[in-house]
Chains A and B, each alone.
Chain A
Amino acid sequence: MLRYIGWRLAQISVTFFLFLTVVFLLFQAMPGDYTKQFIMNPRIPPEARRALQERLGLTGSVWDQYLHYVRNVFTGNLGISFQYYPREVWDVIKERLPRTAVLFLVADLLAFGVGYPLGKYIAWKRGKLSDYAVTVTGVLFYTIFTPLLALILLFVFSNVLGWFRSGGFLTPSVWLRPPVDPQVVFLLLAATIGGILALGGGIFFLTKRIGHPRPRNWARRSLILLLLACAALGWYRSGIGTYAWDIVWHMFLPVLAVTLISFGGTMLLMRDSMLEVIREDYITTAKAKGLPDKVVRDKHAARTALLPTITNFTIGLGFIVSGGIVTETMFSWKGMGLTYLEAVLQQDFPLAMGCLIFTGILVLLLHLVVDVLYAFLDPRISY
C-alpha cells in the first residue's frame, strides 16, 4: 500500500510541477509584466514597484523568471497584493485558504453522506418511481445554475424564514470587542472538525475487530456521540463559544449550497456502480446465504460499489471547485474563490496567481486523500 501511495505521490508531484508551469506561462502571456498595475495606483510609490519586480525576478530572462517563480512558490514569497496593498499575497491566502478548505471539506463530506446512501437506495429500487424521482432531483441540483440556487436559498432562509443573515463571514455587531481574532476562532473550529474526523476514523478502525455487528455498532455510536459531546462541551466552556457559533451560523448556507450542487454527482456515480455490482455472482451468493436484503445491499453491494465511486469522484472535482467559486461569491464567503474572482476583476495579478496556485494545491491534496482512502478500502492494493 505504501508503494502505491508513494507512486501516486510521485505522479501528483509531476502534475503539480506541470500545473505551476502552466500558471506561469499563463501569466507570462499577459500583456506587460503583471506589476504594471502598480503604475496606475496612486497609493503605491514607484520604488515599491521596482522592489517588487526585483523580488519576483521580473527583470531577468523568462527562464530566470521561471526559476525565481518556482522558488518563490515554495517559500511562500508570492509578492504584494495590489488590492490589499501593502499586504503580502501569502498573508491574504493564509487567511482565506482555511475558509475554503473547511467549506469544501464539510460540504463534500455531507454531499457524500447524502449521495452515497441515496445512490445505494435507488439502485436497489431501480426502475421504481423512487428511482426516477430521486435521479431527476439529483440531476436537477447537479445542473442547477449555481447563482440561481444561491438566490433561492437566500430568499427562503433569510428573507422568508429569517434564520440566517444574507452572507459574509461573521456578524459585525457580535464581534464589537472580540477577545480573540476571528481567524483564530475559525482555525480552532477547523481544528475541531479535523480532530473529530480523525478520532472518528480512529474509532472506526479500532472497533473493526469486534466480531458481532450489534456490539460493534453500539460501541461506534456511543464513542462518536461521546466525542461530539466532548467537543461541544469544550467549546461551551471556552468562553468564545458565541463567536464560534456566529461563524458556524454564517457557514450554514454556503455549505448547504455546495452540498446540494455536489451530492447528485456522488449519488449518480454510486447508482451506476451499484447497478454493475448487483449483477455480480457474489451478490447472488450473498442472497443464497440467506442474508437479509439489507445486509446484501449495504455490506456486499454498496461496499464494493464504493470503490469505483471513489475513483470517479476525482474527475468531478474541478466542477465542484468551479461551483465553489460561484457559491462563495454569492454568499460573500471570503474564501479563495471570492478572493480570486475579485483579484481577477481588479487585475490584482499577484493575488490571482497565488489563489490559482493554492486552489491547485488544495485539489491535488484532495486527490491524494482520495487515493489514500482508496488504498485503504481496496484490499487488492497491497503492493
Chain B
Amino acid sequence: MIPRRNVGIEPLWKIRARLWARSLRKNWGLFWESRIGPLGLAIILFFVLLMVAHPILMATVWDPRVYDPVVGFDRAMVGRHPAPPSWAHPLGTDPIGRDILSQLMWSTRSEFALGVTSALITVVIGTFIGAVCAYFGGVVDTFFMRLADLVMLFPFIALLMVLRSIVTLDLWRLALVMGVLSGFGGITIILKAQALTVKVKPYIEAAKVAGGSAFHIIRRHIVPNIMPLSFLYMMFNVTGAVFTEAVLSYFGLLDIRMSWGIMIHTAESAGYLGAFGQYWWLWAPPGAAITLLCFAFYLVGRGLDTVVNPRLRKR
C-alpha cells in the first residue's frame, strides 16, 4: 500500500518504481509457480553461460589454432578425425578436425542474436499492427487480417527456401526476413483480439474525450496493455526462429559460417549420419542444443502465459 500522505512529497517516479517493483514481484511469483517457466529459464541461463564462457576459454585454455570453431584443426590427431570425445576434445571433433564443444559454444551467440532479433522485430510489428487494426477497424483491419491469413498459409521454411535463390541469406538478413514475415502473420490476429478487449475499456473513451489523438491513444493506452501478451509471444517466436534457422542450415541453404544446424549438415554431407550410433557426437550435441533452446523458450512462453492470462491460473 502506498501511504496516502506521502504522495504529495514523494516524486512520481519513485512511486512508479515501487509500483513496478511490486507488480514485478507478484508476477515473478506467478511465473515461479508455473514451474515449467523457471525450468525453461534455467536452460536459457545455461546457454548464456556457454556463450559467455567461450571467449574466456579461447583467451585462456584453448589454443585458437586448434579450437577455433570455423578454421581450427587439431594436428595432433590427423587421420583420426572425426575423433570421439577425449580429454582434449570433450565432445570429440568433426570430420575436418574441429572441436565440437567449441563450435557448440560459439554458435550459442548467433542463435541468441538471431532468435531475439527476429522475435523483437515480429513483436514490434505485430503489436503495432494489432493495435492499429483494433483501433481503426474497417479497411485497415480487413487488409491486415487477410494479409495475416496469407502469411499463415505459407509454410515458412518453404518460402525461405525460395527466397534464398533471390537473396543470399546471412544471419541478420534471415532474422530480418523471419521477423518481418511472422510479424504480419498470426501474431497480429492474436494481438488484435487482445487490443479489442482494451479498446472497449472506459479509459479509452475518456482519453478520446480528453482530446487524445489516435496515435497518442494507441501508444499510451492500447500498446502498454497488450505488451504483456506481445512479450509472451516473443518467446514463442524465438523458438520458431531458432528452429527455422536450424532446419535451413541443416539443408545447407544458408550463408552462415557456423551454427548448430550447420554442424549436423557437415556431419551429414560427409556421410556420417548413416552409421547412426557410431558417430553420435557429430549430431547429438548440436541436435540436443537446438531442441533444448527451442524447448526452453517455449517453456518460458508457457510460464508467462499463466502470468498474463489469469484464466489459466489456479484459483
Q: Do chains A and B directly touch (beta carbons under 8 Å) in the complex? A: yes
Cα-based distance from A295 to B10 in the complex (angstroms): 58
Q: Is A325 an interface residue (CB 8 A)?
A: yes
Is the pair B277, A360 in contact by a Cβ cutoff of 8 Å?
no
Q: A135-B36, A147-B250, A148-B283 are in contact. Are A325 and B158 (CB under 8 A)?
A: yes
Is the pair A272, B158 in contact by a Cβ cutoff of 8 Å?
no
Is the pair A318, B154 in contact by a Cβ cutoff of 8 Å?
yes
Is the pair A126, B314 in contact by a Cβ cutoff of 8 Å?
yes
Say which residue of B162, B186, B298 sits within 8 Å of A26 (CB atoms). B162
Residues of A within 8 A of B165 (CB): 30, 344, 347
B111 to chain A, nearest CB (A): 12
Taking CB as reference atom, which chain B residue is nearest A160? B277
- Say whether chain B's binding surface is mostly helix, strand, loop, or mixed: helix
Residues of A within 8 A of B246 (CB): 145
Residues of A within 8 A of B253 (CB): 344
B234 to chain A, nearest CB (A): 15
Say which residue of B153, B158, B239, B264 sits within 8 Å of A340 (CB atoms). B158
Interface flags for B180-205 (1: CB within 8 Å of A; 0: not) read 00000010010000000000000000
Q: Is B251 an interface residue (CB 8 A)?
A: yes
Q: A145-B290, A268-B302, A318-B155 are in contact. Are A151 and B273 (CB under 8 A)?
A: yes
Is the pair B36, A136 in contact by a Cβ cutoff of 8 Å?
yes
Q: A341-B251, A344-B165 are in contact. Are A15 and B299 (CB under 8 A)?
A: no
Interface flags for A110-142 (1: CB within 8 Å of B; 0: not) read 000000000000000011000010011001101
Taking CB as reference atom, which chain A residue is nearest B165? A30
Size of the A side of the interface (Cβ < 8 Å), in residues, is 57
Is the pair A132, B35 in contact by a Cβ cutoff of 8 Å?
yes
Is the pair A18, B161 in contact by a Cβ cutoff of 8 Å?
no
Q: Is B247 an interface residue (CB 8 A)?
A: yes
Interface size class of B (residues with CB under 8 A): 35 or more
Chain A CB within 10 A, most for which of B35, B154, B239, B283: B154
- Say whether chain A's binding surface is mostly helix, strand, loop, or mixed: helix
Cα-based distance from A303 to B271 in the complex (angstroms): 50
Is the pair B162, A276 in contact by a Cβ cutoff of 8 Å?
no
Q: Is B228 an interface residue (CB 8 A)?
A: no
Q: A18-B146, A148-B287 are in contact. Are A143 and B298 (CB under 8 A)?
A: yes
Cα-based distance from A27 to B276 in the complex (angstroms): 38
27 A-B pairs within 8 Å (CB atoms) are namely: A15-B146, A15-B153, A19-B150, A22-B150, A31-B166, A127-B314, A135-B36, A136-B39, A139-B302, A142-B298, A144-B295, A147-B264, A147-B287, A155-B277, A272-B305, A275-B312, A318-B152, A318-B154, A322-B156, A322-B158, A325-B158, A326-B247, A340-B158, A341-B161, A344-B161, A344-B162, A355-B158
List 7 tightest A-B contacts by C-beta distance, closest first. A148-B287, A321-B155, A143-B294, A322-B157, A145-B290, A155-B276, A344-B161
> What is the interface of chain B, defined by CB distance below 8 A to chain A?
35-36, 39, 146, 149-150, 152-159, 161-166, 186, 189, 239-240, 243-244, 246-247, 250-251, 253, 264, 273, 276-277, 283, 287-288, 290-291, 294-295, 298-299, 302, 305, 309, 311-312, 314-315
